[in-house]
Amino acid sequence: MGEVILLPLLALLVGAAWILGLRWLGMYSDPAVLAWRRLARLRGLDRRRPLGERLGDRLPLLRRLQAETDVGRLLAIAGREETPTVWLLWTLTYAGGVLVAWLALDELVLVTQRQPGPPPALGLLVAGGVAALSYVHLRNQALARQRHLGRAIADSLPHLAVMTYHHRLPVSEALLVFARCQQDPSLYRFLSEGSWHRLVDQPADPAEAIPPATPGGASSGPPGTAALYERIGAAYRVPMFLALGSALSMVNERGLNSQQVLTRLARDTLNDRAAEARVTAAQTKTLVVVPMGLMIIPILVLIGAPIITNLTTLFAR
């Protein structure tokens, strides 16, 4: 009875896969449509996005998952020169080495002690943990670099307000000068070495794109400093770049005083950092109480153990 149901079901699945494959190959499309698609791909006019991006537009959770697991973006944000393929090969090498060592330990225990060693399934879990730790390390590097870049820009805002007041020194050059004077060289290397081109020059995501603000609405030519900083902030997810670009846009478009705008931005940034410091201090007080409470447990054990022993002896009689 099972074979009677299984065979037609299998034939139905094979037929559906065959039809979908022919449709994917374009066998049901008109030759003129196929010729136009081929010409559009050759001329760079085919703007169809991958299926994952189209699904991400409909499912925000899937879109966020794609953004968090984009290894290429994380490598660029972390400032590492390796490609996603190289990172994946190194991760597989580390995980494979751990798995081989685990299996070798299993065989060694089996040969020397004549008993089963650690289960191989546990070795698979350990290898998967090594791969997960590699991703977590990469993500932590990217988050740390984002924090360093944002803090470096925030520290430069008061100096930018002073140096660019008379419009004799461009903001981009002033920011590069002050980045060179900072103890943390992250911002200076990021701007001087041109590593920001790695993500900014990529095709923009339609959901996060920031159109370049060019004079007269023209789309040709390089973007201005304000638009460039906004694009860097959107690509590398550094809010301070976005804030600085927005402030420069206000100065250029509305004719506001650059010293007042940058000083106000520096003051707001300082207030935000002070609020974060107060929240961190409050959380630290709570975290300090936990170890102090755990220190009481050994004292309670030392006091309660003799009492429990005496009560047990008393009731045993």
pLDDT in tens, 264-311: 998 998 898 889 888 888 888 777 777 777 788 888 888 888 888 888
Task: Let me know: does 261 contact 253? Beta carbons within 8 Å.
Answer: no
Q: Does residue 191 surpass a pLDDT of 80?
A: yes
Considering the domain architecture, whether residues 178 and 116 belong to the same structural domain is answered as no
Considering the domain architecture, whether residues 157 and 268 belong to the same structural domain is answered as yes
Considering the domain architecture, whether residues 135 and 173 belong to the same structural domain is answered as no
Q: Does residue 61 surpass a pLDDT of 80?
A: no
Q: Please check whether residue 238 lies inside any domain of the structure.
A: yes
Is pLDDT larger for residue 6 or for residue 209? 6
Q: Please check whether residue 306 lies inside any domain of the structure.
A: no
Q: Find the domain containing 78 and state its range.
A: 73-140
Q: Please check whether residue 19 lies inside any domain of the structure.
A: no
Report the alpha-carbon distance of residue 229 to residue 241 in Å, rounded.
5
Considering the domain architecture, whether residues 178 and 247 belong to the same structural domain is answered as yes
- Out of 5-19, 76-90, 281-295, give the one with best mean pLDDT: 76-90
Q: Please check whether residue 153 lies inside any domain of the structure.
A: yes
Q: Does residue 175 surpass a pLDDT of 70?
A: yes
Residue position matching structure tokens 């225990």: 109
Q: Does residue 201 surpass a pLDDT of 90?
A: no
Instruction: Report the pLDDT value the prediction gives residue 242, as an integer from 0 to 100.
Output: 92
Considering the domain architecture, whether residues 167 and 266 belong to the same structural domain is answered as yes
Model confidence at 3, in pLDDT bands (50, 70, 90)?
low
CA distances from 255 to 175, 247, 248, 251 (A): 21, 11, 10, 5
Q: Please check whether residue 65 lies inside any domain of the structure.
A: no
Q: Which residues of 112-136 are buried (b: 16+ CB within 10 A; e: fewer)?
A: eeeeebeeeeebeeebeebbeebee
Q: Please check whether residue 15 lies inside any domain of the structure.
A: no
Considering the domain architecture, whether residues 176 and 261 belong to the same structural domain is answered as yes
Model confidence at 171, in pLDDT bands (50, 70, 90)?
confident
Considering the domain architecture, whether residues 153 and 239 belong to the same structural domain is answered as yes
Considering the domain architecture, whether residues 195 and 124 belong to the same structural domain is answered as no
Considering the domain architecture, whether residues 84 and 194 belong to the same structural domain is answered as no
Averaged pLDDT, 150-160: 90
Instruction: Report the pLDDT value the prediction gives residue 297, as an integer from 0 to 100.
Output: 83
Considering the domain architecture, whether residues 106 and 188 belong to the same structural domain is answered as no
Q: Please check whether residue 171 lies inside any domain of the structure.
A: yes
Is pLDDT larger for residue 37 or for residue 191? 191
Is pLDDT larger for residue 305 or for residue 90? 90
Name the domain boundary from 120, 140, 160: 140
Considering the domain architecture, whether residues 169 and 251 belong to the same structural domain is answered as yes
Considering the domain architecture, whether residues 131 and 244 belong to the same structural domain is answered as no
How many domains does the chain contain in total? 2
Q: Does residue 210 surpass a pLDDT of 70?
A: no
Q: Please check whether residue 279 lies inside any domain of the structure.
A: no
Instruction: Report the pLDDT value the prediction gives residue 95, as an integer from 0 to 100.
Output: 92
Name the domain boundary from 140, 159, 192: 140
